[in-house]
Structure 1
């Protein structure tokens, strides 16, 4: 496969997510150069290319253009102020480092200008999200994405909705869903490993739990229904509130909101869940949503009940139970409480094996190799 030059709108050292997981795994096949958006730096005389080692990935190198400006600000890829300079410095760096016709891997259509500037053997577009909302405020974005979709030798889509949408532009589009750090959440299967979080002390069991951002994706009437239908259950909803008001949240004696918790705290809460929930509404906010937390719950060997989100139905059933109505959702929780962990274990292990980041990177590698053979590169 050779070396990869990735053009990304995300920072490598910000939040560790899909690009970092996939590219770190793919770096065993060749060098990975991760090209970030420019960084502004007031008081600088000349622009230059900053080169840094990739955090937690030995064979990944980060490059970013450091651009002189009068004041700090955001500059994206493709900006007329910086693109010509960035292209020139990047081409010089690639020549000096011996990058000969690498695979060009894009995460943003704003990196389109690099395609003609960088000689490459193959073009990959990994689609993370729908750009419909961003296109309303970014002139030309939709046209750039369509051009990128049609040019790419391989298009990877993060969820089934994106796959169905993007394959209309390119027959070489494949679903590559999100993965899970199973080893991080696996200890939550053993309750004895964790001190009970203070907000959970004294709560009646069973504890029916959710963690994540509490926003307009959540089916708040469903949460209210569960609490009212089963007052002997404790419903714990962990996470920060966003895009909705505190007063919008359902209130009941058996609903508890511990608030925002750090990533390192989540396994302790998950360990104390008897059933874990994916209680999302079916609306515009969830149309392109793929709930990776389902895999996190499964990694802790917790029974999981979800609303009928498209990716849950396509990818995670029957391991993840689905309730299509509030009454059915409660019934599924009751069935999950009665089920023995041993009955679920084989299915959970098979599902997790499909969605480790290593296995997903291997799938991406196979797809890339197969398409390289077709094109003869």
Structure 2
């Protein structure tokens, strides 16, 4: 096995003709085996215009090597069509639309037909298939990519609302994939016995972007009226957060302000703790995050310890650290093993000890003591991670081309 220690907008412009789901005869196209691969087709359960995270970081960089087609899950509305929106001249988001009430089997048929029509329309024959969700195999298993990559960024089967067939579909994907990348070391350990070419690529960092927060930046308007000290969290607010812990902390320290950035997903917003010192500011653009981080005192990661967090490797850990923020976290395995020995990271598991850790973090924020942190972060950037992935993919492409 291999281990590399580098570690929603539903509205898209119609920039391509509507693709109608009509039966098509399968065409057999002869393509020279040695023709270069110029396209990468990604099947994702996440939307490109949602939280900017691993898929955006990696595929933006991949677009320097291949033309990227990012195919999302369908949006349900009034008609069947496929919309395209160019992010730039090298990366296009592709969104299927299906009518409300479409049966699951019909949805698979329509997506398969639309994908086939789209690939034919764009003259895409030699390509890399990149999967973020095994469920996409239901409508893409008939395709014959030159290389298949499964970038397993989360254990999706453990998430709330996961389809019962996900594990079975993942088993099929693991048999088809040439390469498996994992979003953390715990995921690597869970997958390494199930595939012969598994590589760990934990959460990386856009260091230059988040390091801006160490300088004086303009204070965001919705933050300016919140007094200090400010303890912040940025990310998706869902079943992975320990809301009971957050509620207890707010009760214990009414003089502290808890600021949360991010969308509320899969949970009822009415279940969120509501206190005068808890502030939900909503989802923010990726470019705006350093401005918020610059005006926080401590970053927190109050994750629940459950099946949904068993394999996570939070991207926010290195982002907070690059911003010069001490981090207080519950004992997420990949956080403990990677950052647990650092003086700037505090690991704790109860409201009382979380409070104590925040107090220590508020007293110990010294940017002059972060040399080792910065050395690590600079060696684990998204640029480095993508470069390593790309080398592995090119090497495997050479092998499958010769076969």
TM-score band by shorter chain is 0.7 to 0.9
Distance 2:226 2:71 in 1: 50
Which stretch shifts more, 324-333 or 13-22? 324-333
Residue 323 (structure 1) aligns with: 347
Q: Can you list the C-alpha shifts for 1:258-283, whole angstroms capped at 9, x where unaligned? A: 22234146444422222222222322
Unpaired runs of 5+ residues, structure 2, are 1-35
Q: Quick one: structure 1 residues 332 and 126, their matched pair in 2 at CA, closer, same or farther if it must change by over 3 Å? A: same
Q: Can you list the C-alpha shifts for 1:139-188, whole angstroms capped at 9, x where unaligned? A: 64322210111221111122333323222321312222233444443332
Residue 258 (structure 1) aligns with: 279
Task: Select which of 287, 293, 308 maps to 1:270.
Answer: 293
Residue 31 (structure 2) aligns with: none
Matched, 1:89 2:103: no
Residue 145 (structure 1) aligns with: 170
Distance 2:326 2:290 in 1: 15
Residue 218 (structure 2) aligns with: 194
Residue 369 (structure 2) aligns with: 343
Unpaired runs of 5+ residues, structure 1, are none
RMSD, matched Cα: 3.8
CA contact (8 A) 2:204 2:315 kept: yes
TM superposition score normalised by structure 1: 0.77
Q: Secondary structure at the match of 2:314?
A: coil
Q: Can you list the C-alpha shifts for 1:170-222, whole angstroms capped at 9, x where unaligned? A: 131222223344444333223x422375666573x544333445554344554
Distance 1:124 1:29 in 2: 15
Tell me the number of residue pairs that the alignment of Structure 1 and Structure 2 aligns: 359
Which stretch shifts more, 125-134 or 192-201? 192-201
Matches within 5 A, 1:104-123: 104-112=129-137, 117-123=142-148
Q: Secondary structure at the match of 1:360?
A: helix
Q: Can you list the C-alpha shifts for 1:199-250, whole angstroms capped at 9, x where unaligned? A: 66573x544333445554344554566567767x624232466636768738
Q: Secondary structure at the match of 2:154?
A: coil
Matches within 5 A, 1:212-251: 212-213=235-236, 216-220=239-243, 222-223=245-246, 234-239=256-261, 243=267, 249=273
Residue 284 (structure 1) aligns with: 307
Q: Secondary structure at the match of 1:305?
A: strand
Q: CA deviation at 1:9?
A: 3.5
Greater RCO, 1 or 2 (C-alpha within 8 Å, sep 6+): 2
Distance 2:298 2:243 in 1: 18
Q: CA deviation at 1:124?
A: 0.6
Matches within 5 A, 1:68-87: 71-72=99-100, 79-87=107-115
Which stretch shifts more, 239-248 or 301-310? 239-248
Residue 321 (structure 2) aligns with: 298
CA contact (8 A) 1:78 1:112 kept: no
Q: Quick one: structure 1 residues 198 and 137, their matched pair in 2 at CA, closer, same or farther if it must change by over 3 Å? A: closer
Residue 28 (structure 1) aligns with: 64
